[in-house]
A and B are shown apart, each in its own frame.
Chain A
Amino acid sequence: MPRHVIRHGRVIGDIWQVLVPRPGERPEAVALPEGPLAVSLAVWKARREELLARATPVGVRLEPGDDPAAIAADLPRLALVAVHFPRFADGRGYSTAYLLRRRHGYRGELRAVGDVTRDQLFYLQRSGFDAFQLRDGADPHAALPSLRDFSVAYQAAADGRPPRFRSPLPGDPRHG
């Protein structure tokens, strides 16, 4: 069965392969499969030219401790940045997403992968993610409503919504 991801609020088939070297495998030597491919930061650093020369889309998968500034200059050439959540309670990836979108201006697909469940989707989306690969066994169709848990927000984040004090209610007299 093909893997599915949620992207822009819909469930779609996943075209991407992800390459993370196993312990002991050298990033310089690991085989690069054909087709759209996202690689770990170590492989990206070791094989950047080779990957950019391919005719198929390339992406990078960041771990929680990876600094997004490390790929800032390459972002226009990346079709996917995947941010890995080894445990959903490790919230560093939310800041990674914010920085990619707001600090470094990344416009391509930003995907949360790993231990991702429907109960994190709303916050992930507000932090800048537009794609979600749920943990194994989770039903992406059942998760879709969680993207709409809240219709309003107090604060700005990375989803383009202004803070509430800069977004007057229609007809709100306090804001004239």
Chain B
Amino acid sequence: MYRYDAIDATLVAERVAQFRDQTRRHLAGELSEDDFRPLRLQNGLYVQRHSPMLRVAIPYGQLSSAQLRKLARIARVYDRGYGHFTTRQNLQLNWPRLEQAPEILAELAEAGMHAIQTSGNCIRNVTTDHFAGIAPDEHVDPRALAEIVRQWSTFHPEFAYLPRKFKIALSGAEADRAATLVHDIGLHARRNGAGELGLRVIVGGGLGRTPVVGAVIREFLPWRDLLTYLEAILRVYNRHGRRDNAYKARIKILVKALGPEAFRDQVEAEWAPLRGGESTLTDEELARVSAHFAPPAYEPPGDDDRALACHLAADRAFARWVGRNVHPHRQPGYRAVTLSLKKTGVPPGDLTAEQMELVAGLAERFSFGELRVSHEQNLILADVRGRDLHALWQRARAAGLATPNVGLLTNVVCCPGGDFCALANAKSIPVAEAIQRRFEDLDYLHDIGELDLNISGCMNSCGHHHVGHIGILGVDKNGAEWYQVSIGGEQGLDATLGEVIGPSFAAADMPGVISRLVETYLDLRHEDERFVDTAHRVGLAPFKARVYGERREVAHA
């Protein structure tokens, strides 16, 4: 993974000093809340329901064991002993004190981490595929390009006060595991017929109040032009994006208003004078950054498959976990493992300091001391030998991190919701937990098969409910919390936005509603058909009939 050099370390240290002085001036009354707000946001500090929230950047989701131990220490010393992993591969601490924020940032800097641009109307943390570099379906390892984009966007002076936040996601694989079509910019790294590296450029995707699947504005951008082209897109957006209404300020609204073709023409016109200029990437730079992502020292294939087969035959619970939480690897003998942060009763994505330390140790013991955060709010050990899987599983299970539910209904993607977030209309964590309890029977859960359930506590859609096979959105009606349900959403290259099934429900009804949706699917499914496929084939009507036919009296207008 990327290791800081002197320049990276200097920048982060100078940022800590800058923010320390800004915080001091704010606490001394020299810097008003209005003036301080964008400064603290660009250092990851929100003001939440109970206290500030600090969002730590985990660039494109990559962490070392040492960094995870540092996060554990910070959670323990400055917070309440846990952290929350987000859908954008970051870590949120819910209870830090503002006065201590500069200290926390200084500790992060010691481990080569920061909270820069994790909030505010600027270019946010770039995200990518959690199987980058190891996935069998990968065309190009996107991590070096992601790091190059991270560096370019960090403290970009021209783009720190954009109309609204700006998110970039990058994927290099056949499947899209980075939600690239619902980002402000999505990039698909590819090689063309001549073997040259380039990127498909997608703009104007997004969730939130106005969900949109992005539009391709360039099929193949030569990689050396990546930064100049991003600069052109950002400049067009910075100058022409709406600033009169925060709900209409994302780039998707500009792209929609102009039409993707006219938007592309403006970008191309802005790009023409930049093309070939000093920000054009060099072979040396790509080689320098790529060297940080060289494959680890894999051992030659051994008896991994045989050892694994023995354990699979002997242990059904282990086999169930392997079936869901272990993923193919391009290196013979190796697998990738998802440590599920979706155990029933634990808020989705939460991890205690003790678990962080344990996972850091597992990564060291089994996966070259590195791990990744997935946008589904789980942790990934990317390079595990097949013969080590059983030992890893036993340790993970003892720590509550081996729920065999990746891709299944209880792997709920969920924002912090009204329990923590000041923006939320409704709580999301208790709804997730009630649904998880309803589907605790593993045989039933596995029989239902692949089902993405996403919950957002408000229209900001941090839980990506629009692209859940079942999506739940918390809404406020006259001060009461209600939940709107949609079905048929899908992430990936076939990204589809779900359709609302009808009037919303009270929290207590939600497990029953989800049960009836699932029963409808089980009644109607064809063989090997996932929930979302059935929903697309049969449409909303049978689901609505089952849900509302029996429950008309509680449905709310």
Chain A residues within 8 Å of B, Cβ to Cβ: 88-92, 94-96, 98, 103, 117, 119, 122-127, 149-158, 162-166, 169, 174-175
A154 near B151: Cβ-Cβ < 8 Å: yes
Q: Which residue of A lies closest to B228 (CB)?
A: A156
Give chain B interface residues in 216-240, CB to chain A under 8 Å.
227, 235, 238-239
If A92-B238, A123-B157, A165-B282 touch, whether A117 touches B35 (CB-CB below 8 Å) is yes
B158 near A95: Cβ-Cβ < 8 Å: yes
**Which one of B14, B39, B279, B281 lies within 8 Å of A150 (CB-CB)?**
B14
A95 near B239: Cβ-Cβ < 8 Å: yes
If A126-B157, A154-B154, A169-B7 touch, whether A91 touches B279 (CB-CB below 8 Å) is no
B281 near A91: Cβ-Cβ < 8 Å: no
The 10 closest A-B pairs by CB, nearest first: A91-B161, A126-B157, A123-B157, A165-B285, A154-B151, A94-B158, A149-B18, A155-B152, A95-B238, A150-B14
Q: Which residue of B lies closest to A129 (CB)?
A: B157
If A89-B161, A119-B39, A169-B6 touch, whether A150 touches B156 (CB-CB below 8 Å) is no
Give the shortest distance, in Å, between A168 (CB) and chain B (any CB).
9
Give the shortest distance, in Å, between B37 (CB) and chain A (any CB).
9
A150 near B282: Cβ-Cβ < 8 Å: no
A165 near B284: Cβ-Cβ < 8 Å: yes
Give the shortest distance, in Å, between A10 (CB) and chain B (any CB).
21
**Which one of A90, A153, A156, A174 lies within 8 Å of B155 (CB-CB)?**
A153
B278 near A166: Cβ-Cβ < 8 Å: yes
Q: Which residue of A lies closest to B18 (CB)?
A: A149
Q: A117 contacts which chain B residues (CB < 8 A)?
A: 35
B160 near A91: Cβ-Cβ < 8 Å: yes
What separation, in Å, do the CA atoms of A67 and B312 have in the docked complex? 67
In the assembled complex, B121 has its CB within 8 A of some CB on chain A: yes
B238 near A157: Cβ-Cβ < 8 Å: no
B10 near A89: Cβ-Cβ < 8 Å: no
Q: A88 contacts which chain B residues (CB < 8 A)?
A: 35, 38, 161
Q: A124 contacts which chain B residues (CB < 8 A)?
A: 157
What separation, in Å, do the CA atoms of A117 and B238 have in the docked complex? 20
Q: B31 contacts which chain A residues (CB < 8 A)?
A: 119
Give chain B interface residues in 124-171, CB to chain A under 8 Å.
151-162
Number of A-B contacts (CB under 8 A): 103
Give the shortest distance, in Å, between B38 (CB) and chain A (any CB).
6
A152 near B10: Cβ-Cβ < 8 Å: yes
What separation, in Å, do the CA atoms of A128 and B327 have in the docked complex? 50
Q: A94 contacts which chain B residues (CB < 8 A)?
A: 157-161, 238
Give the shortest distance, in Å, between A164 (CB) and chain B (any CB).
6
Q: Which residue of B lies closest to A67 (CB)?
A: B239
Q: Which residue of A lies closest to B10 (CB)?
A: A152
B157 near A122: Cβ-Cβ < 8 Å: yes
B282 near A166: Cβ-Cβ < 8 Å: yes
* B1-20 Cβ-contact flags toward A at 8 Å (1 or 0): 00000110011001101100
* B266-287 Cβ-contact flags toward A at 8 Å (1 or 0): 0000000100011101101100
Q: A91 contacts which chain B residues (CB < 8 A)?
A: 121, 158-162, 238
Give chain B interface residues in 253-302, CB to chain A under 8 Å.
273, 277-279, 281-282, 284-285, 288
Q: A122 contacts which chain B residues (CB < 8 A)?
A: 157
In the assembled complex, B243 has its CB within 8 A of some CB on chain A: yes
Give the shortest distance, in Å, between A41 (CB) and chain B (any CB).
15
Q: A89 contacts which chain B residues (CB < 8 A)?
A: 38, 121, 161
What separation, in Å, do the CA atoms of A86 and B91 have in the docked complex? 35
Q: A151 contacts which chain B residues (CB < 8 A)?
A: 10, 14
Q: A157 contacts which chain B residues (CB < 8 A)?
A: 156-158
Q: B160 contacts which chain A residues (CB < 8 A)?
A: 91, 94, 123
In the assembled complex, B22 has its CB within 8 A of some CB on chain A: yes
Give the shortest distance, in Å, between A105 (CB) and chain B (any CB).
12
What separation, in Å, do the CA atoms of A169 and B159 have in the docked complex? 26
Q: B235 contacts which chain A residues (CB < 8 A)?
A: 95, 98
What separation, in Å, do the CA atoms of A123 and B117 have in the docked complex? 14
Give the shortest distance, in Å, between B120 (CB) and chain A (any CB).
10
Q: List 12 A-B contacts (CB under 8 A).
A: A88-B161, A89-B161, A90-B161, A91-B158, A91-B160, A94-B160, A94-B238, A123-B155, A154-B154, A157-B157, A163-B227, A163-B278
Q: B15 contacts which chain A residues (CB < 8 A)?
A: 150
Give the shortest distance, in Å, between A174 (CB) and chain B (any CB).
6
What separation, in Å, do the CA atoms of A89 and B243 have in the docked complex? 10
Give the shortest distance, in Å, between A172 (CB) and chain B (any CB).
9
If A95-B238, A150-B11 touch, whether A155 touches B151 (CB-CB below 8 Å) is yes
What separation, in Å, do the CA atoms of A148 and B302 have in the docked complex? 56
Give the shortest distance, in Å, between A167 (CB) and chain B (any CB).
9
Q: A175 contacts which chain B residues (CB < 8 A)?
A: 284
What separation, in Å, do the CA atoms of A91 and B123 have in the docked complex? 13
Q: B159 contacts which chain A residues (CB < 8 A)?
A: 91, 94
B11 near A127: Cβ-Cβ < 8 Å: no
Q: Which residue of B lies closest to A142 (CB)?
A: B30
Extra 4 A-B pairs, beta carbons < 8 Å, given A89-B161, A95-B239: A126-B158, A153-B155, A155-B227, A165-B285
Q: B158 contacts which chain A residues (CB < 8 A)?
A: 91, 94-95, 98, 123, 126-127, 157-158
Give the shortest distance, in Å, between A128 (CB) and chain B (any CB).
9
B279 near A155: Cβ-Cβ < 8 Å: yes
Give the shortest distance, in Å, between B224 (CB) and chain A (any CB).
11
If A117-B35, A149-B18 touch, whether A165 touches B288 (CB-CB below 8 Å) is yes
What separation, in Å, do the CA atoms of A125 and B227 have in the docked complex? 21
Q: A164 contacts which chain B residues (CB < 8 A)?
A: 7, 151
Q: B282 contacts which chain A residues (CB < 8 A)?
A: 165-166
Q: B278 contacts which chain A residues (CB < 8 A)?
A: 156, 162-163, 166
Q: B161 contacts which chain A residues (CB < 8 A)?
A: 88-91, 94
